Chain A
Amino acid sequence: MSDYNFAYLDEQTKRMIRRAILKGVAVPGYQVPFASREMPMPYGWGTGGVQVTAACLMPSDRLKVIDQGADDTTNAVSIRRFFQRTADVAVTSHTHEATLIQTRHRIPEAPLREGQILVYQVPIPEPLRFLEPRETETRRMHALEDYGLMHVKLYEDIARNGTIATSYAYPVMVAGRYVMDPSPIPKFDNPKLSGSPALQLFGAGREQRIYAVPPYTGVVSLDFEDHPFEASKAPHACDLCGDDGSYLDEVITDDRGGRMFVCSDTDHCDCRQKAGHRGRLAMPETVQ
């Protein structure tokens, strides 16, 4: 595709985005404003992640795109195709083969390694947004490390419900300084944010923000001593591959309450099935 520059964005724009990324890496968890461009896909559909990916991609990269943990959900397909068309990069569905992974709502089950980049699509980058709608106010709160409001919110959750009633986009503290929204990943994934050998980049296109968690950075999910953070998932094993440690999707199989649980990370599940693992409902003929 010769009509557009490599990976769609022009080099000046990529340079502007790379500067924002570098600033984000230098100040982990800090939301760096950047001049987000209109992309040929709608705001809210991953334009921030797409711009970060475009700025990071090299012709030698191998790209993996997932949405809800799966490589074949429609929006993941659409974004992967976009980069195949505009950057002609190699693609893969295997986590360990990818050099750059763009994700929406999940962190892959397989541990990441040094040299990999994980790009998150972020809808609302501001963890304080639903406590304080004004950007002018929340920026001041971050500057002053004024996170009392967040702790009061978590405390009120416990007072009302006996538990912190946040199950995804669970707020974290990065490198002991900035409270950060990890994007709407389930809190099950939160522990994987911390100390990861991979570079984690977060792009919010509509809100014009980029932030980062550099490799081997400490990321702590907010909690209280007497109510410690707990990564939770459905109390089942995958019905296809039998894994009882991966995050599960619940699939309704009939209208009489029948349901099954399957890995949300499709690559993880495929690899396990190929290795001979079988879940409760796996049929030999469904596995190649």
Chain B
Amino acid sequence: MYVAVKGGEQAIDNAHAFLAEERRGDPAVAELSIDQIREQLSLAVNRVMAEGSLYDPDLAALAIKQARGDMIEAIFLIRAYRTTLPRLGQSRPIDTGAMAAIRRVSATYKDLPGGQVLGPTFDYTHRLIDFALMADGEAPQAPTAAPHGAMPRVSGLLDAEGLVEAEPFSNTEPPDLTRTPMELPANRALRLQALARGDEGFLLSLAYSSQRGFGRTHPFVGELRIGEVMVELDIPELGFSVEIGAITVTECETVNQFNGSKTQPPQFTRGYGLVFGQSERKAISMSLVDRALRWEELGEEDTGAPVQDAEFVLMHADNIQATGFLEHIKLPHYVDFQSELELVRQMRAGASEHQEAAP
């Protein structure tokens, strides 16, 4: 016999307790420390910082631990925390040209001022499981070199020759995605903001689709660089800016062929990606998607490809919005379902009457 369901509160408490126990796993195994996650799962930490839009490796590591390694859940924790933080000021634009790069590669020039610097990359590793890692070994040591100074940007080298489109200079304040509702059509600054916090997998697939012909963009990686940049804040009381810290970012500039238009001579065009931490895949994807979204301003053809559709890309790139809405369908929908049940029954009754009435 059914009696009105009670006990939601107790069930929730018990579910949370069960979750906490599962998160910890076998208590005979040592518990993960935040330091371990930050130091040894640093690319996961980077992704959480990038898509969580908050540069704090310790907090990101904690979120990964709390989320049991579920990256989107960890990103969600960071996002929800970040909204509660006061906004103390706005930094000056970071200067990636002055970056202390640990990695810098160009696919367009064999050699260039500053050279090619491979840095800590998976690129030429053979993807063979390293069983030696199962045992604790000595900490690996890499040879060291003197740090590079500032390296000129590839786009700057092309720019000097007039071969790449000029980046229009603007002092207008960019819109803030976190403080104003998204308005469409969105300008490039707003699009880049949305892409920078967008889901890595979604951007990867969109960028990949553009390479395969759904909105072709002909990209070359003009330059990809990873390293620390200083963050400076203007202090109005002092009348000058002070460095408040350093962050690691990945920057990608793609160079794309462009045939020219009525107003523009043939030249190369740019796609841009900038992501917190070491996140190459995301930065490259972002620059391809950025370039594809610029079809209109460059007078290119709309082929109807998903990656060219700004509303489609921007409204679906955020994995926190996406996962929330997707997963909400597991919430109770008894009421809606009941109304559908009645409707289907009524329509079926109507249909069978109709059949019986027919000769």
Contact = CB atoms under 8 A, between A and B. Distances in A.
A248 B4 contact: no
Interface string A148-162: 000000000000011
A206 B321 contact: yes
A169 to B, nearest CB: 8
Contacts of B341: 234, 250
Contacts of A85: none
Q: Which of B11, B185, B339 has the most CB of A within 10 A?
A: B339
Contacts of A283: 1
A75 B180 contact: no
Contacts of B12: 74, 77-78
Interface stretch (A110-118, A180-188, A215-223): A180-188
A249 B346 contact: no
Contact of A35 (B180, B332, B338): B180
B339 A72 contact: no
Interface string B254-286: 000000000000000000000000000000000
A232 B335 contact: no
Of the four ranges (under 10, 10 to 19, 20 to 34, 35 or more), the interface on chain A belongs to 35 or more
Contacts of A75: 331-332
Nearest to A164: B343
A142 to B, nearest CB: 15
A45 B331 contact: yes
Contact of B315 (A81, A135, A240): A135
B338 A186 contact: yes
Interface in A253-268: 253, 260, 262, 264, 266
Interface stretch (A22-30, A36-44, A53-61): A36-44
Contacts of B1: 253, 281, 283, 286
B331 A135 contact: no
Contacts of B332: 67-68, 73-75
Contacts of B328: 42-45, 123
A232 B342 CA distance: 8
B323 A42 contact: yes
Interface in B320-359: 320-321, 323-328, 331-336, 338-343, 346-347, 350
B335 A234 contact: no
Interface in B1-32: 1-9, 11-12
Contacts of A123: 325, 328
Interface stretch (B36-44, B78-86, B93-101, B116-124): B78-86
A123 B331 CA distance: 12
A4 interface: yes
A200 B178 CA distance: 27
16 contacts: A33-B181, A33-B183, A39-B80, A42-B327, A43-B325, A67-B331, A68-B335, A75-B332, A76-B8, A77-B9, A161-B347, A206-B325, A232-B342, A232-B346, A249-B335, A283-B1
Interface of A: 4, 8, 10, 33-40, 42-45, 47, 67-70, 72-78, 81, 104-106, 123, 134-136, 161-163, 165, 167-169, 184-188, 206, 208, 232-234, 240, 247-251, 253, 260, 262, 264, 266, 269-270, 281, 283, 286
Interface of B: 1-9, 11-12, 76, 79-80, 82-84, 86, 178-185, 311, 315, 320-321, 323-328, 331-336, 338-343, 346-347, 350
